[in-house]
A and B are shown apart, each in its own frame.
Chain A
Amino acid sequence: MSVFPATAAAKAADRRAARGAGTGPASRDQRAAYLFIAPLGLGFALFYFWPMIQTFYFSFTEFGPFGGHTWIGGDNYARVVKDVTVWQALGNTLVYCGIGLTALPLALVIASLLNRRGLRAVPLYRALYFVPFVTLPVAVGLVWNWLYNGDFGLLNEVLGWFGVDRRYWISDPSTAVFAIGAVMVWSTTGYYLIIFMAGIKGIPRDYYEAAELDGAGAVRRFFTITLPLLSPTIFFASVICMIQSLQVFDLIYIMMGEKNPAVGDTQSVVGLFYKWAFVENAQGAAAALAFLLMLLIAGLTYLQFRLQRRWVHYG
């Protein structure tokens, strides 16, 4: 991925190094370096770059369900733009993205709590928070479906103690998106927690000690030391988190089912892509949708990179 700020610098350094090494054949070291990155590069070219080009090409064709395709120009894009379900799915996806991003402050708070000196059993907590992330989304979805179950789910039972009425969380259009979003946050927080804990470990202890001597409290220390020095890490996490939330699919697919009355209110762009490509035999239009989603992700990521200049501090 060329999205990381480091790569631009690395490329410049590369160029400098190449110049330094002269214009002749690459040195042994360089050859070794290329050999080492070749497997990854090959994988990237074969499984990411080539399909991307193919998708772009197929988005201008009508695709036979059993092979063969005909060029139809921009019709697929016209269909995507005109289809109301696309806009609905886009809206839902942005809501998922918004909910998904709440995993970051949550993880940050837990990470700084876990980073307190003298706290015991930190590895245990870390593992406990990380388990949901490494659990298969299918398993996560199935278990949460039981918890949310309107007739005998645990959630309704617990809320019942506080006088809250029983409801069908994932089949009520007004709650379904949030019910799924909550599971998303639940299952990804652990991942960001680990990243943040590593980031906090990288902040020199003396800063905190100095601040403490000056009488800064825990909250003050968090906002004046942890947060600014962690900003590159937070930035990295927010880019990853946004991309992942924009691509949400499996959890919704598992939790919703086709006969759910809230299905239109929860469908994500990737969900719609799946439906077009694999159920309705509209592969060309699906390719156009996928390509537009890629542009959207690229655009939002670019925006994040522009905005980072205002709040990310390096060194």
Chain B
Amino acid sequence: MRRRTLLRSGLAAASAPALAACADQGGGGSEGGGRTTLSYGMWDPAQVPGMRRIIAAFKERNPGISVRIELTPWASYWTTLKTSMRGGTAPDVFWMNAVNFQLYAAHGVLEPLAERIARDATPLERHPAQLVRLYAYEGTQYGIPKDFDTIGLWYNKALFDKARVPYPDPTWTWDDLRAAAAELTDPHERVHGFAAEMHRQFVIYPTVFAADGYVLRDGRSGFGDDRTIEGLRFLTDMIDRGWSPPQSAMVENVARVRYWSEKVAMVYDVSAMSGQMYAVPALKDHGGVTVLPRGRRRATVIHGLANVISAKSDKKAAAWKFVHFMAGREAAEIQAELGVTISSYAGTQDAWMKSMPEFDLKSFIDMEKYAVPYPSSKNTAVWENLQYPLLGAAFSGKGGIEGAARTLGEQMDRALKEERDR
């Protein structure tokens, strides 16, 4: 008997703190007065310090509301989020990207924000219009951008000097890039002029757009389009001529790492990587960045994350206050100062550029004018997953890019049709 009592009291003791914790948050359920604790789902540990500061500033304005960050690593962010949505434990506010947005919006798990935006005059117009549109579904706004990124041309000045090639500048076209890549390639040193990596956001999409091709338009795939194929051929041609390592080599040592170790003279990479580029001493010293070269037209890809509210949240009023605050100038400035990412709020990017004066980061912001939004549909992951397996051989120097692209176009169209029929 004695043992049982002991056990019972032990259990009670163990659950006491848990109960207390529940009570602590439970007050948040009732939004009128009292304390509310919001959970905020995000995946990037590098942005935690910035977010903490934004949350502190938010709390100063809204003393009744505190925000708890729920950090989930990128690799499991989406599976965890989906599972927690089903289980009813999803964060109140969380990060959303273009690839997943429509799926979430279409299934009604995101809170529509249009009315609240109108009522509180949230400054949507201060954020890039292409980005704002990315987070609208069937005419309703569900998310508000917090940051943005574009792709730029990074180059190694030391390798350019060695090959006596002038540095890339905004007047460059594809021909200039090709000519420079040929000059810069040095087989003895195992140095390549360019890295035509099979990466959809950093390399494939911007090149396809610069060729005046497209990835997705009116529910149809653009991979069978002649201009799209021209863009892809620009990339695979570099590999076939030996100016870029083949994809099979870049699986094991990715383009970025080759650039960091000064084995590749030019790469296309995203603005969000600036901080890491800056952290490589050699590149801080003699690395440069400029806008992407012009193909048939000027283009780059623009993408950015948005804050969204879970439709299942029971603290929507407080959650909206937080999202509204994040859409404003004050939050954007805090985010920019830390230099991790470009705030999407117009006019707050100076702080970000000043954080790395050696790099001409203004290029990333200049490109916003002609940047194409990241292509997405309701079930983006399905057709995106077709790309690498089908294009892999052509990007490994085995040729046949045209056939591969057309097959990809057909299969993507089939996936898009299935998506519509569902």
Interface residues of A (CB under 8 A from B): 62, 64-67, 145, 148-151, 153, 168, 170-173, 257-264, 275, 278-282
Q: Contact string, B54-92, partner A, CB cutoff 8 A, digits 1/0?
A: 000000000000000000000000010010011000000
**Inter-subunit contact B107/A258 (CB<8 Å):** no
User: At the interface, yes or no: B129 with Cβ under 8 Å from chain A?
Assistant: no
Give the contacting residue for B392; candidates A64, A149, A261; CB below 8 A. A261
User: At the interface, yes or no: B199 with Cβ under 8 Å from chain A?
Assistant: yes
In the bound complex, what is the Cα–Cα distance between A67 and B86 (angstroms)? Answer: 6
**Inter-subunit contact A171/B252 (CB<8 Å):** yes
User: At the interface, yes or no: B248 with Cβ under 8 Å from chain A?
Assistant: yes
A261-B248 CB under 8 A given contacts A65-B107, A149-B253, A280-B385 = yes
Point out the residues of chain A lying under 8 angstroms from B385, CB to CB.
Answer: 258, 275, 279-280
Point out the residues of chain B lying under 8 angstroms from A67, CB to CB.
Answer: 85-86
**Inter-subunit contact B252/A149 (CB<8 Å):** yes
A259-B198 CB under 8 A given contacts A151-B253, A279-B381 = yes
In the bound complex, what is the Cα–Cα distance between A153 and B198 (angstroms)? Answer: 22
User: At the interface, yes or no: B163 with Cβ under 8 Å from chain A?
Assistant: no
Could you tell me which residues of chain B, from 364 to 422, have a CB within 8 Å of some CB in chain A? Answer: 379, 381-382, 385, 388-389, 392-393, 395-396, 422
**Inter-subunit contact B251/A171 (CB<8 Å):** yes
**Inter-subunit contact A170/B252 (CB<8 Å):** yes
**Inter-subunit contact A65/B82 (CB<8 Å):** yes
Give the contacting residue for B388; candidates A62, A168, A263; CB below 8 A. A263
**How many inter-chain residue pairs (CB < 8 Å) link A and B?**
83
A168-B251 CB under 8 A given contacts A67-B86, A259-B199, A261-B393 = yes
Ranked 10 nearest A-B pairs via Cβ: A261-B392, A171-B248, A171-B251, A67-B86, A168-B248, A264-B389, A261-B396, A260-B251, A280-B382, A66-B85
Point out the residues of chain A lying under 8 angstroms from B198, CB to CB.
Answer: 259, 261
Measured CB to CB, the nearest residue on chain A to B81 is A66
Residue in B86, B252, B253, B392 whose Cβ sees the most chain A Cβ within 10 Å: B252
**Inter-subunit contact B392/A262 (CB<8 Å):** yes
User: At the interface, yes or no: B109 with Cβ under 8 Å from chain A?
Assistant: yes
Interface residues of B (CB under 8 A from A): 79, 82, 85-86, 103-104, 107, 109, 190, 197-199, 247-253, 379, 381-382, 385, 388-389, 392-393, 395-396, 422
Q: 26 interchain pairs (CB within 8 A)?
A: A65-B103, A66-B85, A66-B86, A66-B109, A67-B85, A148-B252, A150-B248, A151-B252, A151-B253, A168-B252, A170-B251, A171-B249, A258-B385, A259-B197, A259-B199, A259-B392, A260-B392, A261-B247, A261-B251, A262-B392, A279-B381, A279-B385, A280-B379, A280-B381, A280-B382, A280-B385
Point out the residues of chain B lying under 8 angstroms from A282, CB to CB.
Answer: 382
* 10 additional contacts (CB under 8 A) given A64-B107, A66-B82, A67-B85: A65-B103, A66-B109, A149-B252, A149-B253, A151-B190, A170-B251, A171-B396, A258-B388, A261-B248, A263-B389
Point out the residues of chain A lying under 8 angstroms from B250, CB to CB.
Answer: 259
Point out the residues of chain A lying under 8 angstroms from B79, CB to CB.
Answer: 278
A259-B103 CB under 8 A given contacts A67-B86, A275-B385 = no
Measured CB to CB, the nearest residue on chain A to B82 is A65
In the bound complex, what is the Cα–Cα distance between A170 and B396 (angstroms)? Answer: 13
- Min CB distance B70 to A, Å, is 18
In the bound complex, what is the Cα–Cα distance between A151 and B103 (angstroms)? Answer: 40
**Inter-subunit contact A281/B253 (CB<8 Å):** no
Point out the residues of chain A lying under 8 angstroms from B392, CB to CB.
Answer: 259-264
In the bound complex, what is the Cα–Cα distance between A172 and B396 (angstroms)? Answer: 9
In the bound complex, what is the Cα–Cα distance between A62 and B199 (angstroms)? Answer: 32
Give the contacting residue for A150; candidates B249, B388, B395; CB below 8 A. B249
- Min CB distance A73 to B, Å, is 16
Residue in B107, B248, B251, B388 whose Cβ sees the most chain A Cβ within 10 Å: B251
Point out the residues of chain A lying under 8 angstroms from B199, CB to CB.
Answer: 259
Point out the residues of chain B lying under 8 angstroms from A150, CB to CB.
Answer: 248-249, 252-253
Point out the residues of chain B lying under 8 angstroms from A64, CB to CB.
Answer: 107
Point out the residues of chain B lying under 8 angstroms from A280, CB to CB.
Answer: 379, 381-382, 385
- Min CB distance A76 to B, Å, is 13
Point out the residues of chain B lying under 8 angstroms from A66, CB to CB.
Answer: 82, 85-86, 104, 107, 109
In the bound complex, what is the Cα–Cα distance between A151 and B382 (angstroms)? Answer: 33
- Min CB distance A165 to B, Å, is 14
In the bound complex, what is the Cα–Cα distance between A103 and B382 (angstroms)? Answer: 37
Point out the residues of chain A lying under 8 angstroms from B252, CB to CB.
Answer: 145, 148-151, 153, 168, 170-171
A261-B379 CB under 8 A given contacts A67-B86, A149-B253, A168-B252 = no
In the bound complex, what is the Cα–Cα distance between A17 and B252 (angstroms)? Answer: 62
A259-B388 CB under 8 A given contacts A66-B109, A67-B85, A278-B79 = yes
In the bound complex, what is the Cα–Cα distance between A67 and B197 (angstroms)? Answer: 37
In the bound complex, what is the Cα–Cα distance between A258 and B190 (angstroms)? Answer: 25
In the bound complex, what is the Cα–Cα distance between A62 and B251 (angstroms)? Answer: 35
Point out the residues of chain B lying under 8 angstroms from A264, CB to CB.
Answer: 389, 392
Point out the residues of chain B lying under 8 angstroms from A257, CB to CB.
Answer: 251
Point out the residues of chain B lying under 8 angstroms from A281, CB to CB.
Answer: 103, 379, 381-382
Point out the residues of chain B lying under 8 angstroms from A172, CB to CB.
Answer: 248
- Min CB distance A77 to B, Å, is 17
- Min CB distance B400 to A, Å, is 12
In the bound complex, what is the Cα–Cα distance between A151 and B255 (angstroms)? Answer: 13
In the bound complex, what is the Cα–Cα distance between A67 and B90 (angstroms)? Answer: 13
Point out the residues of chain B lying under 8 angstroms from A151, CB to CB.
Answer: 190, 249, 252-253
